[in-house]
Amino acid sequence: MKAKLGPRRMSNNLSVSNNMNIAQRLMRYKVWADIKTYQFMDTLPLEEIIKSRETYFGSILHTLHHVYIVEDIFNAHLENRSHGYEARKTDTPPSFTDLWESVQNMNDRWIEMVDQLNDLSLNEVVQFKFLNGEDGNMTRLEMVTHIVNHASYHRGYVDILVEQIPAEAPASDFPVFLKEMSI
C-alpha cells in the first residue's frame, strides 16, 4: 500500500532569480528538496517508510518528522512565540500524508518569511531558549541556514535508510536545484 500525496500547492513559488538574497535561494532549495524527497517516498511501500530500523529516530518517517519538529521550533523562535516541544522527536509521528501536509504548510510560512526579509533584518539577532533551557541567539540568516543544513543532513540520512529497502533516492543537492531552476 502506498500513500498517495496530493499535488504540491506552491510549486509556482519556487522560481529563483539572481536578485534574490541567499535566504530566499536557500529556502527555495529546501522546499524543492522536500518535494523531491516526499514525492520519491510516495513511490515506496508505506510499510518501508514506517518500518522500524536500527537508527536513532527508529524509522524513515520518524526521521522526517524530526526535521519538521526542528523547523517548527526555529520558526517559533523567529516569530517570538512558544513552540510547545520538550524534545526533538516524539514517540509517535503523524501519518506520512499528515506530515507532508504539515511540511508544505511550514514551507509556505518559511517562503513568506524569507521573502519579507532584507539585508538588515537577515542580520538581526534573535534571542531564544534551547530545549534544555539554555539561552541561544542567532541571526535570522543563521537560523535559515541551520534549517536548510539540518534538512539536508537528515535527507542524506534518509537516503542511507532508503538504500536498505533497496531503493535509490533522487539527487537533492544544491547544484542540481540550481541547474533545474536554470540559475
Asked if residue 1 has pLDDT above 50, the reply is no
Q: For 137-156, what is each residue's pLDDT tens digit?
A: 999 999 999 999 999 999 99
Cα torsion through 153, 158, 159, 165, rounded to 10: 170
pLDDT at 20 (0 to 100): 77
Calpha distance 178→43 (Å, rounded): 25
- Cα of 6 vs its chain's centroid, Å: 18
* Count of CA atoms in the C-beta half-sphere (13 A) of 26: 19
Task: Identify which of 88, 111, 136 has the alpha carbon closest to the alpha carbon of residue 25.
Answer: 111
List 113's β-bridge partners, or say none: none
Q: Which amino acid is at 54?
A: E
Q: Determine the average pLDDT of the residues in 12-17.
A: 61
H helices of the chain, where?
22-41, 46-50, 60-78, 96-116, 119-122, 140-163, 174-180
Single-letter residue type at 13: N
- Write the DSSP assignment of 60-109 as a string of letters: HHHHHHHHHHHHHHHHHHHTT-----SSSS-SS---HHHHHHHHHHHHHH
Give the three-state DSSP class for 7: coil
DSSP 3-state of 34? helix
* pLDDT band at residue 15 using 50, 70 and 90 as cut-offs: low
Rounded Cα gap, residues 157 and 137, in angstroms: 27
Q: What is the pLDDT of residue 48?
A: 97
**Domains parsed from the chain with CATH numbers:** 22-180 (1.20.120.450)
Structure confidence at residue 175 as a pLDDT band (50, 70, 90): very high
* pLDDT above 70 (res 182): yes
> Which band of pLDDT confidence, cut at 50, 70 and 90, is reported for residue 181?
confident
Identify whether the C-beta of residue 64 lies closer than 8 Å to the C-beta of residue 30.
Answer: no
